Amino acid sequence: MASIQARLTDKMLRLLVKSRFNPNADPRAIRARTTKLAQRFGGVSEGVHVEKLTVAGIPAEWIHPSAEEAGNTLLYLHGGGYAICGPDTHRGLVARLAGAAKARALLLDYRLAPEHPFPAAVEDAYAAYKWLLAEGADPSRLTIAGDSAGGGLTLALLMKLRDAGEPLPAGAALLSPWTDLAMSGLSHITHGKLDPMLSLQATLTAARHYLQGTSPTEPLASPLYGNFEHLPPLLIHVGANEILLDDSRRVAEKALAAGVNVELRVWPGLPHVFQAFPQLPEARTSVTELGAFLNARAIAGRPVRHAAD
């Protein structure tokens, strides 16, 4: 059973997020409101150092947790339907995850739709990863994580890196990933009332802003339809109440069928990207587990696989 904090958060999300969704709203106005809402949950903890920089022409932040970084590097790709959110909404979550992973984290402020539709986000993520390699990051100590759209973007990046013959990271963590912009999963229907944050209308609106004519089954936009062979180990955490639940389930099934080391954990009674709410005991446990996985993959220092291997 979900904690009392989770049940209260469910009510808050229904009131402040789901009930206020307007498909005709300007995404820039939604960005401002989302940032203001995110600020209610606080920023980074004392001792965390944030350094703003530009990576391959893209704004970004280095987040150095107070915990020992142990030489690991984490590239984090934020969620927000490819149209909203950024460092201001995700800095706290990334700092907590980086601390658990004993890593410094590069939080990328990639270009957003509808001003910059697909494949802008994929191009920016690829450029940032290449920048990390050029700066001397060891792929065997490098991991990637992302939530929601950022989780789908993480998978798309892995597929693009593999196909380009680039060194792959040691592993990736996906938090409630959005992997199917065609919205073909049954949970979009069955979980419509369970999900306190997202609706089918909301995801269709975000997909329209991002795709702008691109097929919703294009693998780099919807990695569920891509080739999962030779991807690094994956850990997926998703809430049982999400309309995107089947996006995670089907990714795990396809990855497993392709021989990928993948683990899926479904959290009963939890909403979309519940890790963003540090007041939830489930969020703290999930971040600890995700961080432990990322740290373990970096410590393992697995041999780097290329697409030709």
Q: Which residues are catalytic?
A: 148, 242, 272
Secondary element (H or E) of residue 38: helix 27-38
CA 290 from centre of chain: 12
CA atoms of 94 and 287, how far apart (whole Å): 10
Annotate 150-169 with DSSP letters as a single string.
Answer: HHHHHHHHHHHHHHTTPPPP
Nearest-10 Cα torsion for 122, 275, 260, 190: -90
Amino acid at 3: S
Beta bridge partners of 145: 76, 173
| Exposed/middle/buried for residue 85 (C-beta within 10 Å: 0-12, 13-18, 19+) | buried
Beta bridge partners of 301: none
The token pair at 37 is 């809402």
CA 285 from centre of chain: 17
Q: Pairing between strand 142-147 and 103-108?
A: unpaired
Determine the straight-line distance between the first and last CA of the chain, rounded to whole angstroms: 45
* CA-based nearest residue to 75, from 103, 53, 56, 96: 103
Hey, which bits of 33-136 come out as E strands? 49-55, 58-64, 72-77, 103-108
CB 232 within 8 A of CB 171: yes
Secondary element (H or E) of residue 174: strand 171-175
